[in-house]
Structure 1
Amino acid sequence: MTSTSTDNEFRIRGLEVRYGTNRVVRDMSLSAKPGRVTCVLGPNGAGKTTTLRAGLGLVGRYAGECHRPKHTNILLDDGGLIPGLTVRQHVTARALSVGVSTGCVDDLIDTVGMTDAAAMKIGKCSMGMKRRTALAAALAGDPQLVVLDEPSAGLDPEGIRWLGTLLRNLAQRGVAVLMATHHLAEAAGMTDDVAVICGGTLRFSGSLKEMTSGTTTGSLDDAYFALIGGEAR
Structure 2
Amino acid sequence: MIEVENLRQVFGEKVAVDDISFTVQPGSVTGLLGPNGAGKSTTMRMIVGLDRPLSGSVRVNERSFPESDAPLRDLGALLDPAAIHPGRSGRMHLRAIAATNGIPVSRVDEVLRVTGMTDAATLRVGTYSLGMRQRIGIAAALLGDPQTLVLDEPVNGLDPDGVHWVRELLKSLAAAGRTVLVSSHLMSEMALTADHLIVMGRGRLITQGAVDDVVAQATRSDVLVRSPQPDALLAALADIGASARLAPDGTLVVVGATAPEVGALAFARSIELHELTPQQGSLEEAFLELTKGDQEYASGSSGTANGGLA
Q: What TM-score comes out, normalization by structure 2 length?
A: 0.69
Give the C-alpha shift of residue 133 in structure 1.
0.8
CA distance in 2, matches of 1:61, 1:48: 14
- Mapped contact 1:98–1:140 kept (Cα < 8 A): no
Q: Give the aligned partner of residue 288 of structure 2.
A: 225
Q: Give the aligned partner of residue 202 of structure 2.
A: 199
1:1-233 correspondence to structure 2 within 5 Å: 9-69=1-61, 70=68, 71-78=74-81, 80-214=83-217, 215=219, 216=221, 217-232=280-295, 233=298
- Mapped contact 1:195–1:204 kept (Cα < 8 A): yes
Give the C-alpha shift of residue 96 in structure 1.
2.2
Give the C-alpha shift of residue 128 in structure 1.
0.8
Structure 2: 5+ residue stretches without partners: 62-67, 69-73, 222-279, 299-310
SS at match of 1:187: helix
Residue identity opposite 1:68 in structure 2: V
Runs of 4+ in 1 over 3 A off after TM superposition: none
CA distance in 2, matches of 1:118, 1:22: 41
Question: Structure 1, residues 211-230: CA drift from partner, whole Å, max 9, x if none?
Answer: 12333224111211121125
Question: Once superposed, what is the RMSD of the aligned Cα atoms?
Answer: 1.5
Question: Structure 1, residues 99-156: CA drift from partner, whole Å, max 9, x if none?
Answer: 2101111110010111221211111122111110111011011101111111112112
Residue identity opposite 1:226 in structure 2: E
Residue identity opposite 1:11 in structure 2: E
CA distance in 2, matches of 1:22, 1:167: 33
Q: How many residues align?
A: 225
- Mapped contact 2:134–2:155 kept (Cα < 8 A): yes
Residue identity opposite 1:36 in structure 2: S
Structure 1: 5+ residue stretches without partners: 1-8
Q: Give the aligned partner of residue 6 of structure 1.
A: none
Give the C-alpha shift of residue 79 in structure 1.
5.8
SS at match of 1:105: helix
CA distance in 2, matches of 1:143, 1:100: 12
